[in-house]
Structure 1
Amino acid sequence: MTAAMRLSSVAWAARTRREIREIGTADGSVVVVPVGSVEQHGHHLPVATDTLLADAVSHSGAERAAEDVSLLVTPPVWTGYSPHHLSLGGTLSLELDDLLDLLADVADTALENGFDGVCFVNGHGGNASVIDDAVSIVGRDHPAVEVVGLTYFELAEPFIGEIRESDPGGMAHGGEFETSLMLHLYPEHVTMEAADAEYLDEPYDRAAEDLLIGGSVSTYRPFEEYSSSGAIGDPSLATTEKGADLFDRLGNELADVLRTISEQAH
């Protein structure tokens, strides 16, 4: 459990059962569920990077929306769907159906406390389709609840051109984007001298180029076919200052989403 999760004013884990029920039964209340992964991120970032960042952004957005919305952030779902990383080591992964069942169960039981809305905040690209399915399943089973899912780094699309220095492909797995955020939030867990990465080389012109440049074509390859180190992008361009700017803007973007969820859930 991270220090941020223990001490945050919006942390589910720090509340008593009575407090959780009081917050959940308030009009327009929202429960936020961070979803990450434990998977290799090259030689310079820890395997919990996706979980750490999804959790941190979730708390940041929730704290900024807390004056307007009754909400809580659950402990993160730390295991994602990462079969493409397994061969490089260090990765823990669930089966797709197991992750979907886990997300639905977390939402089902959280909603028993009276919440009017639920938001899954995903931090791992390989979870994106599962998040979409979880939204459909939870929404079907709870028709009176506003159910939303998003991948946090996609919230940066409107402003990323003001921050990034890398070419397309430079903000991929363990690249400029994630490394900057980790330098800002968890510098003690970043080893920049080991930041060995390469730009994404994907033969399909219409495939995604990095975290912020999507595409219409998806394919499957073991990760070592893209990168011998396990990292893709340009972490050499990452800075603490970029990470602070990204984190601030991402928090504001997520707060706006959470306010909208609450308004829709009234």
Structure 2
Amino acid sequence: MTLHHPIARLGDLTRDEVADAAAHSVLVLPIGAVEQHGPHLPLRTDTLLAETVATAAVEACSGTVPAVLAPVMPYGNSEHHLFAGAASLRPATLAAVLGDLVRSLHTTGFQRFFLVNGHGGNDETVRLVSKSIVTELPVAVGTVNYWQAGSSAEPVPDGADVPGHAGWWETSLVLAVRPELVRTENAPSEPLGARGLYSYEPVPGLNVQMRGEWARSGGTTDPAAAADPGAGRRMLNERTAGVAEALTRFHELTREQQTR
């Protein structure tokens, strides 16, 4: 049976098309979050960018990697800054949801899963799920944080924190994808508060978390007024190329290990 879709989107396929595709395809699942992104970006920024990059990467690999793109998982772990609109899952809940999605889709016939994460707060949980589920099921799981994929030649303005949070980098990306969602008149030109301890390593390898740090910092890592949609498009293309490379390599490494 031929799939009549430029990209095989899980939610658009029939049950027969899914049955035909599952065994040889990689199930690609973007994962985002709903949380504050300063006074100028929408709460679904992480979800929007994860879905955008995952979709573009699947398109880029369409001739070489058989993939089925799942609907984006819009909620993630934002417990570390529960203010100003965060809709958060606890890490255990997020792990349970992701695990259940893999289990149910494996029952359908999928054996390979590629998780594209769009939110830093999800990172540890996504990787933990990937490690634990393969001890339970005969599956292969790849994970990638889209902002870490690929390399970038784009000049970074002084004071910008890349990738940061709701600063120059993320604002540039959203301007490139959905400019109408950016309240440019509200984009801060100065820091909104003291630099949060979460945003840097005081000494190499040291991570510090303290209650209330996100609210104290104003909820952003760096000013966003200089954000540029042209830079955003170039950086999105670089990250998409990186995720596409990761997806291709995952396919190559796992296609001989199906159905064990």
- Using structure 1 for the length normalisation, give the TM-score: 0.85
Letter in 1 for 2:14: T
Q: Tell me the amino acid that sits aligned with residue 33 of structure 1.
A: L
Q: Measure the CA separation in 1 of the matches of 2:205 and 2:177.
A: 29
Shift of 1:30: 0.7
Residues 140 and 170 (structure 1), Cα distance of their counterparts in 2 relative to 1, 3 Å cut: closer
Q: Aligned partners of 2:64, 2:157: CA distance in 1, in Å?
A: 35
Match for 2:186 among 186, 194, 197? Answer: 194
SS in 2 for 1:236: coil
Post-superposition CA distance 1:147-185 (Å, at most 9, x none): 1112111115x32x5332243536411011111110011
CA RMSD of aligned residues (A): 2.4
2:76 is aligned to: 80
| Correspondence list, 1:8-157, <5 A | 9-26=7-24, 29-86=25-82, 88-143=83-138, 145-156=139-150
1:81-112: CA deviations, max 9, x gaps?
112222x3211011111110001111111222
Shift of 1:8: 6.5
Bigger radius of gyration: 2
Secondary structure, counterpart of 2:108 in structure 1: coil
Provide the C-alpha distance between the structure 2 equivalents of 1:188 and 1:115, rounded to a whole number of angstroms: 37
**What percentage of residue pairs aligned between the two structures are identical?**
29
Shift of 1:198: 1.8
Equivalent positions of 1:105-254 (< 5 A) are 105-143=100-138, 145-156=139-150, 158-159=151-152, 161-167=153-159, 169=161, 171-196=163-188, 198=191, 201-202=195-196, 207=201, 216-222=206-212, 223-227=214-218, 230-254=219-243
8 Å contact from structure 1 (residues 198, 234) kept in 2: yes
Cα deviations across residues 4-46 of structure 1 (Å, max 9, x unaligned)? xxx86232112112212222122xx211111111001111000
* 1:30/1:116 contact within 8 Å kept: yes
The amino acid across from 2:216 in the alignment is: E
- Does 43-52 or 88-97 show the bigger shift? 88-97
CA separation in 2, counterparts of 1:107 and 1:232?
34
SS in 1 for 2:220: coil
* In structure 1, C-alpha distance between the alignment counterparts of 2:8 and 2:243, rounded to whole Å: 14
Contact kept, 8 Å, 2:26 with 2:67, in 1: the verdict is: yes
Q: For the Cα contact (< 8 Å) 2:197–2:209, is it kept in 1?
A: no
Task: Provide the C-alpha distance between the structure 2 equivalents of 1:203 and 1:96, rounded to a whole number of angstroms.
Answer: 21
Q: Structure 1 residue 136: deviation in Å?
A: 1.0
Q: Counterpart of 1:181 in 2: which secondary structure?
A: helix
Quote the Cα distance in structure 2 between the aligned partners of 1:115 and 1:203: 41
Determine if contact 1:34/1:58 at 8 Å carries over to the other structure.
yes
SS of residue in 2 equivalent to 1:23: helix
The ranges of structure 1 where at least 4 consecutive aligned residues each deviate by more than 4 angstroms after the TM superposition are 202-206
